[in-house]
Structure 1
Amino acid sequence: MANKGLKAAELISHPAFKNLKWKLPPTEEGYAEVAKGRSGGPFKLWYEVHGKGATRIVWIMGLGAYRTAWKRQTRYFGLTHDQYTSLVFDNRGAGKSDKPTCRYSTSEMAKDIADLLVQVKWLKDDFTLLDPKQKINVVGVSMGGMIAQELGIFLPSGTLNTLFLVSTWPRAVRTVPYMEHLKQRANMFIPRDIDIQLDGICDRLFSNDFLAVPDTEGDEAYGPGGPNYPTNRDRYAAGEMDKRMDPDGFTKKGFILQAIAAGWHYKSPEQVRDMAKHVGEGRVAVAHGTVDKMLTFNHGELLRDEIGESVEWRKYEAEAMS
């Protein structure tokens, strides 16, 4: 593991820690009640709509992450390019959304999103398009890509314009010896020193080259302003510290319940093919990094192969994509 940066205490005491939030004013924001009549429901999801363009995009975040992790995508597809409208939100169990005590699954989390799309008037009560000319584009990363697969199956055929699955899997495929596999799974839940945690998550999510690049986020348009951290690693780790200091948004219960949903996600080869056909020929894209340490590259290849020749495939010589 390389590119160890500032310690947790140094991240917090750095002047940039006061300026972590991007300035991305939403067109609409609020709570949507979802899961009426379903296990654990009803409960509320926090959402934001950015932009007023005709091309609608739903962004589905991964395990333990907030909607704010889509900051650059929100800026591009919600502020600086007026042909788009972007919907970002916190999944159940994270951020400003509720954290119901029940079993989470990627299929139920997909239904949460379908309910949300009804609330924001992108879909009718029967989950068909409110405006047939405005099909919906869905992007899901990591666990969000698993939820996106379920959404592609659940919504009526013809609802989605495109489905973009990033750094995700149709199901877990073990690529290391069994005991090492168990160790990797257990490490997610073993309490560790915060500095070890920060080094570990940065190492799993990003390449060493990216982590070592000088931070410029404070200077970016719609960015947080203020001074910069020494490196990208320190900027990301500071965001993780800020999240972990949020006792209401980032909870052990919410994280574990989301992790269970991701770990139990399973789509057979037949289900993957049926999903792609249901969404539509040539409307599903898959992207994966070759040395992804979170969800290994073979999972992206598996998803690509099982979708078949109609898939739009992007291979990146990099680690997990942010």
Structure 2
Amino acid sequence: MGASDKPLGIYSTSGMALDIIEVIDHVGWTAEREINLVGISMGGMITQEIAIRIPERLQTLTLICTSARVQNTTGFLETVTERMGWLIPKSMERTIIDTSLKLFTPEWLVAPDDEILPEPGVTPKCGPPPPEAGPTYRLFDSNFQRFQAQELTKKRNPEVFSSTMLMCQLAAAAMHNKSDEQLRQIAEAVGSERITVMHGKRDNMITFPNG
């Protein structure tokens, strides 16, 4: 994931939605009420754009921790302080810690890692762990350690991550804007009974009032 080409340019959630529609057309998911679509965070914004374009093909639509348009819900001083923090260079360790606290609660981060581990020969497409890890995959000491390892793996691979493309992604999310009328159109075309909206009250990436 993430190894496709990503030329520098202006990106938008609507453009990303068109890319996804091309993929699902290619695999043949073109019948009415055939697709169960789930979008989380920025993925939920892209999902809204898909729902506007092909509502009749959606069996269900689930929007998790996302927003129709992100608006400022904090005071001026707090907003300026936060924006300035984005511009200050930080170590990778500090960046990962700050990101984890925006995405997860402190209680969950310090809790023991309870991931269901893959098993070579049992889990489909699961290869053996690295030799230094031993014969089986192992749990981390905490959920934060697992998140940290995932982030380090991603950020150290220039094929899938760059700071420039991250800024392009953030700009696309910031420009996403769906009006109340457009949301009503989605509800009517997809069917409100097919739509689920979920949001965390302690989400610090997209705050609850923006959900």
Question: How does the TM-score come out when normalised to structure 1?
Answer: 0.58
1:249 Cα deviation (Å)?
0.5
Would the aligned equivalents of 1:110 and 1:150 in 2 still touch at CA under 8 Å?
A: yes
1:216 Cα deviation (Å)?
3.7
The corresponding residue for 1:250 is 161
Residue 233 to residue 283, structure 1, CA distance change in 2 (3 Å)? same
Which piece of structure 1 moves more, 198-207 or 211-220? 211-220
Give the unaligned 5+ runs of structure 2.
130-135
The corresponding residue for 2:26 is 119
Question: Deviations for 1:144-195, whole angstroms, at most 9, x for unmatched residues?
Answer: 000000110011x411111110001111121111342244345345420112
Question: Deviations for 1:66-116, whole angstroms, at most 9, x for unmatched residues?
Answer: xxxxxxxxxxxxxxxxxxxxxxxx5xxxx1122122210111111110111
Counterparts of 1:43-192 in structure 2, within 5 Å, are 90=1, 95-122=2-29, 129=30, 131-132=31-32, 135-155=34-54, 157-192=55-90
Counterparts of 1:210-225 in structure 2, within 5 Å, are 210-217=108-115, 219=117, 222=123, 225=136
Secondary structure of residue in 1 paired with 2:144? helix
- Which structure shows the higher helix fraction? 2
Percent identity over the alignment is: 37
Would the aligned equivalents of 2:70 and 2:210 in 1 still touch at CA under 8 Å?
A: yes
The corresponding residue for 1:193 is 91
1:218 Cα deviation (Å)?
6.9
Q: Equivalents in 1 of 2:183, 2:99: separation in Å?
A: 29
Would the aligned equivalents of 1:218 and 1:227 in 2 still touch at CA under 8 Å?
A: no
- Which structure shows the higher strand fraction? 1
Question: How does the TM-score come out when normalised to structure 2?
Answer: 0.86
Residue 195 to residue 281, structure 1, CA distance change in 2 (3 Å)? closer
1:201 Cα deviation (Å)?
1.0
Secondary structure of residue in 1 paired with 2:28? coil
Question: Deviations for 1:24-48, whole angstroms, at most 9, x for unmatched residues?
Answer: xxxxxxxxxxxxxxxxxxxxxxxxx
How many aligned positions are there? Answer: 198
Question: Deviations for 1:104-139, whole angstroms, at most 9, x for unmatched residues?
Answer: 0111111110111112221xxxxxx2x44x610110
1:274 Cα deviation (Å)?
1.3
Give the unaligned 5+ runs of structure 1.
1-89, 123-128, 301-322
Counterpart amino acid of residue 143 in structure 1: M
Q: Equivalents in 1 of 2:142, 2:22: separation in Å?
A: 40
